[in-house]
Amino acid sequence: MKIKSSAELVNQALREIKTITPDEAYSKMVDEKSNLIDIRDIRELQKEGKVEGASHIPRGMLEFWLDPESSYFKEGKLDQGKELVLFCAGGLRSALATKTLKDMGFEKVSHIEGGFGAIKNSKFKII
């Protein structure tokens, strides 16, 4: 049995999803056209800092918090009419998560190229 490597899964996801730059993400946030979602682990946020204006949804709970039929659904956490813009530390987990949300039926979803590492060097404020 040959399993797909994590690199293969990420590369496949990148072919199917929308990737945006930190500057594009910042513009969408300032224009109130997106939900900026940090999917990093809580320990990463505590160690590295948070992005001002971002919602935190841990990667392991993303599908459950956004599924209205799930007992974990977070009513009102996000504006469902706006684009979901995901990021993680480097862009790999957010690529996979963005593909999963597309597979769930979310149409307006993207991820930030380079993740938090790239965000730190952009206009976003880290708190």
Per-residue pLDDT band at 80 (split at 50, 70, 90): confident
pLDDT digits (tens, 9 = 90+) for 9-60: 999 999 999 999 999 999 999 999 999 999 999 999 999 999 999 999 999 9
CATH number at 18-119: 3.40.250.10
Residue 60, CA distances (Å) to 9, 56, 64, 102 in order: 17, 12, 8, 16
What's the pLDDT score for residue 84?
98
pLDDT at 29: 96
- Whether 1 has a pLDDT exceeding 90, the answer reads no
pLDDT in tens, 81-124: 999 999 999 999 999 999 999 999 999 999 999 999 999 999 99
Where are the chain's structural domains? Answer: 18-119
The H or E element that residue 84 is part of is strand 83-87
pTM as predicted: 0.94
Q: Is the pLDDT of residue 76 over 90?
A: no
Which among 42, 74, 38, 43 is positioned nearest to 56, based on CA atoms? 38
Pairwise CA distance, residues 7 & 16, whole Å: 14
